[in-house]
Amino acid sequence: MKQLGIYCVIVWGMLVSQTTMAASLTTAHQPPQAPAELYIIIDDMGYRATDERAFALPESVTFSILPHTPQGQAFAERAHAQSRDVMLHLPMEAQSDKPLGPGAITSSMYANEITATFEAALASVPYAIGVNNHMGSVLTASGQALQPLMNVIKHTGLFFVDSRTTRFTVAQQVAREKQIPNARRHVFLDHEQTEAFMNEQWQRAMALTRKHSKVIIIAHPHPGTIEFLQNKLADLPAQHYALKSMHDYFDKPVVPQREYANSAQASAAAPN
């Protein structure tokens, strides 16, 4: 009986050893996990000369510029010279009483008005390769109102990022139906301008990378935000996170169908 017990212990030890060895071999042959991809869009750019502080951020940070703004064209050209991605931050009808600013798209417009307004807005932001909405809690919640806008975005070959300014948004869904390259914002970083809040939002973005391989953060060119991002990005662990430009988000290269890079054309088409 004693010998049987010893035999059982020996067999159990051999099985445990083989299992451990197999697990080690399996782990050793697994490819290293790719870093999660972070995409940062600084939008609301163009009105203030002080927004230029954002140029201190890495070139992989994308700038989304409001149309027909005093600094918009110069910022777009400077960003392009850095090989930084540029987007059009398009004002859209909202529930808020805040002024939308020039170049806004509203649900009361006819399709030809939307096309003309959009093309003039795009001409005022040279080198834009994508669009995201500024405000837009009314327009982005209406699939019908979005149809003519998405048609012109598709025609120009740009991508669309839904800023998700309302939980009722259907903008990404409509873009997907139109087969427009599309994405969505995951985290607003700085709608409260305190370091504690921004840190909380940053940690939320990091946590989301465990669920999504690509996470989009939208922030604004406030001095506190720029300093916060400089510090966070300087310490970003490269083995876990990769900061990417927005054009890298999409499997196929984004090549706009129409060129709005000529400064003279932009100035003529988009007076401030």
Q: Each residue of 215-240: pLDDT tens digit?
A: 999 999 999 999 999 999 999 999 99
Cα separation, 50 vs 161, whole angstroms: 25
Residue 128's pLDDT is 98
Residue 8's pLDDT is 45
Cα separation, 160 vs 133, whole angstroms: 9
Q: Each residue of 176-201: pLDDT tens digit?
A: 999 999 999 999 999 999 999 999 99
Residue 3's pLDDT is 54
